[in-house]
C-alpha cells in the first residue's frame, strides 16, 4: 500500500515538473529563461517518474535500468543545456 | 477506431505529404526530407498490417516487422549516399547567392 | 494502478505535445532544439509509464536508446549550428 | 477502462502534424529539427504497434543517426549555400502535385480501411519453426534464420552505399581521412560529454546485441548505438576517422559479410541449401554471424555519416 501511494505521489510530482517546464518553455520571454525551465522538466520530471515506476518494477535488474536511464538523461541533458547556453551567450556577445 | 487503423491512416497521410514535398520543393535537401517522410508512411502502413496479423502469442506478425527493420536501414544508406552526392554537387557547381539564413537564436533581452 | 499509470502517460504526452508550440514559434535554433529535448525526455517518461502499466518487452530499452541518441542529435545540432565550435576556424 | 485508442489517435495526429510542419516550414534547418522530433514520436508509435524491435531501430537509425546526418548536411550548406534552381514550381504544377498526393493518400487510406479480416499472417508459421533457430525473439529469427538472405543482401546494400559515398571523393583525397580535421578545446563541455557517453553507449550496444536472441534488440540496433558513440567521439575531436585506404579498416568493413557468406555457403554443403543451418548448431552459427556482422555494420554506418574522404593521405 505504501508503495502504491509513493508511486502515485512521485509520478504526480514528476508530471507537475513536466507541466511547469512546458509552461516555462512556452511562456518565458527569452532563450536562457526557457532553458532554465526546460532543465527542471528534464532532471526532476523524468527522475520522479523513474522513481515512481521503479517501485512497480519487476526485479532489481529492471529497477537498475530505470536508474541508468535517469542518470543518462541527467548527464546528457545538463551537458546539452550547457552547450546551448554557451552558444546563446557567445552569439549575444558578438552582436 | 482501433489503434492500428489510426497509425495506418497516419501512414497514408505521411505518404501524401512526402509525395507533395518531393515534387514541389526546389531544394534537394528538402526533397530528401520529404522522401524520408514518405518512407516512414509506408513503414507505418506495414506496421498496421503486422499488428493486424497478431497471432500465436506474438504482438504482431514478425515477418513485416523484419521487413520494416531492413527498410529503415536501407533508407538510411540511401539518404547517406544522397547527402554525399549533394555535397559533391555543391562543391562542383557554381554558387549563386542563396536566400539569407534565418536567425540562429534569439539574443537574451 | 494500471488506470493511473495509463492516464499519467496520456497526460505526459499531452504536456510535451503542448511544448512543441516552441518548435513552431522558434524563433531560433536553440529554442527549437529545446522543444525537441523536452519531447525526447517526455517520450522516455511516457514509455516508462506505459511499460509499468502493462508489461511491454523492450520498452525500457527503447527509452534508453532514445535518451542516448537524443544526446547525440543535440550535440550534432549545437555543434554544427555554431561555426565557432565546429573547429573550422 | 481502456484508454489506448485515445493515446494512439493523439500520437497519429501528432506525427502527421510534425510531418506537415517539416514539409511546410521555410527554413531548412528548422525542417531538419522537425524531422528529428517526428522520428522520436514515430519510435513511440512503433512501441504502441507492439513492434519493440522496430521501435529500437527507428529510435536509433530513423531519428538518431539520420537526424545527425541531415543536421550536418544542412549546417554545411548554411556555411556554403548551394546553387538554387530556378525557384518554386508555378501554381498549376503545385495544384497538380497536390491533387496527385491527395489521391495517393486517399487511395492508401481506403486500402488501410479495407484490409481483409481475418488478416493474413505468417505469425503461426514463425511460431511453429521458432525452435529450429534456437532464438526466442521472432523478429530476429526472421532476420537471421528464415529470411537470412534478405539480411545478407541488406549488408551488401550498406557496403555498396559506402562505396558510392567514397567514390565521390576527388582523386587527390583518395585513401585519406573523411571529415574535417577537428580542433576542440580539451576542457570544453563537448569533450566532457564525448568522454562520458561512449562507455555507456558501448554497454548499451552490447546489451542490445546480447538480449537480441530472446528479447527486442539485435545486430542493427546494437551496431547503430556503437556507431553513434563513435560519431560522437570523432565530433568532439577525441579520435579521428580512419584513412579509408587502411587495410585493417577494409577488413573490419567486410568481415561480417564474409563470415555470413562463408556460413551460408557451408550450409549449401552441410545442410543442403544456401544459408541453411543444421538445427543442432543453428543458435551457435547465428551468434557467430551476429558478432562480426555487428562490428561491420557499426563501422559502415559511422563511415556513411562521415562522408567521402576529404583530406589528402599522408605519404
Please name which of A85, A92, A13, D165 lies closest in space to residue B82, comparing C-alpha atoms.
D165
- For residue D88, the Cα-to-chain-centroid distance in whole angstroms is 32
**Selected residues 63-82 of chain A with any CB under 8 Å from a CB in chain B:** none
Q: Cα–Cα distance between D313 and D240 in angstroms, integer?
A: 13
How many CA atoms does the CB half-sphere of A33 hold within 13 Å? 11
The CA-CA-CA angle for residues D6, D9, D15, to 5°, reads: 140
- Minimum distance, in Å, between the CA of residue C27 and any CA atom of chain B: 6
Q: Is D169 exposed, middle or buried (0-12, 13-18, 19+ CB in 10 A)?
A: buried
Local structure of residue D178 (DSSP, 8 states): B
- Confirm or reject contact between D53 and chain B (CB < 8 A): yes
Lowest mean pLDDT across A33-42, B75-84, D9-18, D266-275? D266-275
pLDDT score for D2? 54
DSSP 8-class letter at D279 = G
Confidence of residue C87 (pLDDT cuts 50, 70, 90): very low
DSSP C12-35: HHHHHHHHTHHHHH--SHHHHHHH
Q: Is C12's Cβ below 8 Å from some Cβ in D?
A: no
Q: Is D2 left (phi over 0), alpha (psi -120 to 50) or beta?
A: beta
C39, D40 contact by CB (below 8 A): yes
Closest CA–CA distance from residue D145 to any residue of chain C (Å): 21
- Contact yes or no for A86/C75 (Cβ under 8 A): no
- HSE-CB of D163 using CA atoms within 13 angstroms: 9
- Chain D residues near residue A80 by CB distance under 8 angstroms: 193
pTM of the model: 0.88
Residues B26-37: what's their mean pLDDT? 89
Are the C-beta atoms of D145 and B61 separated by less than 8 Å?
Answer: no
Tens-place pLDDT, residues D124-177: 777 777 777 777 777 877 777 777 888 888 889 999 999 999 888 888 888 788
Give the pLDDT of residue B97: 35
Taking only the tens place, the pLDDT of each residue in A31-90 is 888 888 888 888 888 889 888 888 887 778 888 888 888 888 888 888 788 878 877 777
Q: Is C26 within 8 Å of C67 (Cβ atoms)?
A: no
- Per residue in D177-221, pLDDT tens? 887 777 666 667 778 878 888 888 898 888 888 887 777 778 888
C-alpha distances in Å from residue D93, one per residue of B2, D21, D96, D98: 37, 21, 5, 8
pLDDT at D265: 86
- Phi, psi values for residue C65, rounded to 5°: -65, -40
Which chain C residues touch B103 with a CB distance below 8 Å? 27-28
Q: How many CA atoms lie within 13 A of D155 on its CB side?
A: 28
Predicted confidence band of residue D298 (pLDDT cuts 50, 70, 90): very high
C3 is written with which cell numbers? 488506470
Tell me which of C85-89, D57-61, D199-203 is least confident.
C85-89
Partner-chain contact C59 D37, CB within 8 Å = no
ipTM more than 0.95? Answer: no
Q: How high is the pLDDT of residue C88? A: 34
Least confident interval from A57-66, B51-60, B83-92: B51-60
Q: What is the band of B33 on the pLDDT scale with cuts at 50, 70, 90?
A: very high
Helix (H, G, I), strand (E, B) or coil at B102: coil
- Any CB–CB contact under 8 A between D281 and chain B? no
Average pLDDT over residues D256-262: 88
Residues of A in Cβ contact (< 8 Å) with C61: 65
Cα separations (Å) of D6 from D11, D16, D43, D51? 9, 15, 18, 19
Dist CA B46 CA D95 (whole Å): 29
Distance CA A73, CA A51 (A): 14
Instruction: Look at residue D299 and tell me whether its pLDDT is greater than 90.
Output: yes
User: Residue A47 is placed in which grid cell?
Assistant: 527522475
Interface check for A95 against chain B (CB to CB < 8 A): the answer is yes
- For B60-86, give one letter per residue: b (16+ CB within 10 A) or e: bbbbbbbbbbbbbbbbbbbbbbbbbbb
The predicted structure's pLDDT at residue D129: 74
The number of CA neighbours under 13 Å toward the Cβ of D37 is 33
Mean pLDDT estimate for chain D: 82
Map out the domains of chain D as residue ranges.
1-81, 88-120, 122-315
C14: contact with D, CB 8 A cutoff:
yes
Q: Return d(Cα B22, Cα B44) in angstroms, integer.
A: 19
D184 and chain C in contact, CB less than 8 A: yes
Q: Is the pLDDT of residue D84 over 70?
A: no
Q: Closest by alpha carbon to A67, among A49, A80, A81?
A: A49
Does the pLDDT of residue D86 top 80, yes or no?
A: no
Q: How far is CA D151 from the centre of its chain?
A: 13
- Do the beta carbons of residue A71 and residue C70 sit within 8 Å? no
In terms of DSSP H, where are the helices of chain B?
A: 3-24, 28-52, 62-92
Cβ neighbours of residue B21 under 8 Å, at least 6 residues apart?
B30, B31, B33, B34, B37, D22, D23
Residue B37 predicted with pLDDT over 90: yes
Domains in chain B, CATH or no CATH each: 3-92 (1.10.287.3510)
Q: How large is the C-alpha radius of gyration of chain C? A: 16
Bridge partners of D309? D178
Per the model's pLDDT, the better-predicted residue between A91 and D57 turns out to be: D57
Smallest CA-to-CA distance from D140 within D128, D153, D154, D126 is with D126
Which among A29, A33, A91 is the nearest to B105, CB-wise? A91
Cell of A50: 523513474
C-alpha cell at B47: 506496421
pLDDT for position D92: 83
DSSP character string of C72-87: HHHHHHHHHH-GGGTT
Amino acid at each position: 500500500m505504501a508503495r502504491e501511494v509513493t508511486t502515485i505521489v512521485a509520478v504526480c510530482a514528476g508530471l507537475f515538473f513536466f507541466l511547469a517546464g512546458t509552461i516555462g518553455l512556452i511562456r518565458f520571454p527569452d532563450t536562457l529563461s526557457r532553458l532554465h525551465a526546460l532543465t527542471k522538466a528534464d532532471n526532476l520530471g523524468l527522475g520522479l517518474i523513474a522513481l515512481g515506476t521503479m517501485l512497480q518494477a519487476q526485479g532489481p535488474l529492471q529497477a537498475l535500468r530505470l536508474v541508468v536511464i535517469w542518470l543518462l538523461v541527467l548527464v546528457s541533458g545538463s551537458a546539452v543545456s550547457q552547450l546551448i547556453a554557451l552558444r546563446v551567450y557567445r552569439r549575444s556577445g558578438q552582436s | 477506431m482501433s489503434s492500428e487503423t489510426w497509425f495506418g491512416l497516419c501512414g497514408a497521410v505521411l505518404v501524401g505529404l512526402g509525395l507533395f514535398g518531393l515534387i514541389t520543393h526546389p531544394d534537394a535537401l528538402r526533397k530528401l526530407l520529404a522522401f524520408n517522410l514518405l518512407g516512414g508512411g509506408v513503414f507505418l502502413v506495414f506496421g498496421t498490417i503486422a499488428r493486424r496479423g497478431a497471432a500465436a502469442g506474438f504482438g504482431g506478425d514478425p515477418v513485416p516487422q523484419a521487413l520494416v527493420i531492413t527498410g529503415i536501414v536501407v533508407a538510411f544508406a540511401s539518404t547517406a549516399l544522397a547527402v554525399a552526392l549533394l555535397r559533391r554537387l555543391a562543391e562542383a557547381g557554381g554558387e549563386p547567392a542563396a536566400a539569407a539564413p534565418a536567425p540562429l537564436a534569439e539574443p537574451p533581452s | 494502478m494500471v488506470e493511473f499509470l495509463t492516464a499519467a502517460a496520456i497526460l505526459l504526452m499531452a504536456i510535451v505535445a503542448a511544448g512543441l508550440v516552441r518548435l513552431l514559434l522558434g524563433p531560433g535554433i536553440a529554442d527549437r532544439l529545446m522543444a525537441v529535448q523536452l519531447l525526447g525526455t517526455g517520450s522516455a517518461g511516457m514509455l516508462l509509464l506505459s511499460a509499468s502499466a502493462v508489461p511491454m518487452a523492450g520498452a525500457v530499452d527503447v527509452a534508453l536508446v532514445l535518451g542516448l541518441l537524443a544526446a547525440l542529435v543535440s550535440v550534432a545540432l549545437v555543434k554544427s549550428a555554431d561555426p565557432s565550435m565546429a573547429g573550422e576556424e | 477502462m481502456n484508454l489506448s485508442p485515445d493515446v494512439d489517435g493523439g500520437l497519429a495526429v501528432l506525427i502527421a502534424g510534425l510531418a506537415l510542419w517539416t514539409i511546410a516550414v521555410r527554413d531548412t534547418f528548422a525542417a531538419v529539427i522537425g524531422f528529428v522530433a517526428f522520428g522520436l514520436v514515430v519510435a513511440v508509435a512503433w512501441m504502441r504497434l507492439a513492434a519493440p524491435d522496430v521501435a529500437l531501430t527507428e529510435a536509433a537509425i530513423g531519428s538518431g543517426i539520420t537526424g545527425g546526418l541531415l543536421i550536418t548536411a544542412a549546417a554545411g550548406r548554411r556555411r556554403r549555400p548551394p546553387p538554387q534552381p530556378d525557384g518554386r514550381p508555378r501554381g498549376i504544377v503545385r495544384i497538380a502535385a497536390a491533387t496527385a498526393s491527395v489521391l495517393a493518400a486517399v487511395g492508401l487510406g481506403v486500402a488501410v480501411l479495407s484490409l481483409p479480416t481475418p488478416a493474413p499472417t505468417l505469425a503461426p508459421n514463425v511460431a511453429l519453426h521458432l525452435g529450429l533457430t534456437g532464438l526466442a525473439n521472432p523478429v530476429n529469427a526472421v532476420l537471421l534464420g528464415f529470411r537470412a538472405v534478405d539480411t545478407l543482401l541488406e549488408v551488401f546494400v550498406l557496403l555498396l552505399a559506402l562505396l558510392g559515398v567514397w567514390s565521390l571523393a576527388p582523386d587527390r583525397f583518395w585513401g585519406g581521412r573523411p571529415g574535417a580535421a577537428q580542433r576542440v578545446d580539451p576542457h570544453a563541455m563537448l569533450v566532457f560529454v564525448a568522454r562520458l557517453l561512449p562507455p555507456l553507449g558501448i554497454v548499451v550496444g552490447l546489451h542490445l546485441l546480447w538480449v537480441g536472441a530472446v528479447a527486442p534488440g539485435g545486430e542493427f540496433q546494437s551496431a547503430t548505438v556503437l556507431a553513434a558513440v563513435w560519431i560522437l567521439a570523432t565530433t568532439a575531436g577525441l579520435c579521428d576517422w580512419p584513412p579509408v585506404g587502411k587495410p585493417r579498416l577494409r577488413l573490419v568493413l567486410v568481415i561480417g559479410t564474409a563470415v555470413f557468406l562463408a556460413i551460408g555457403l557451408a550450409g549449401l554443403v552441410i545442410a543442403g541449401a544456401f544459408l541453411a543451418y543444421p538445427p543442432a548448431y543453428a543458435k551457435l552459427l547465428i551468434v557467430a554471424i551476429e558478432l562480426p556482422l555487428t562490428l561491420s555494420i557499426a563501422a559502415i554506418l559511422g563511415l556513411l555519416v562521415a562522408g567521402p574522404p576529404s583530406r589528402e593521405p599522408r605519404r
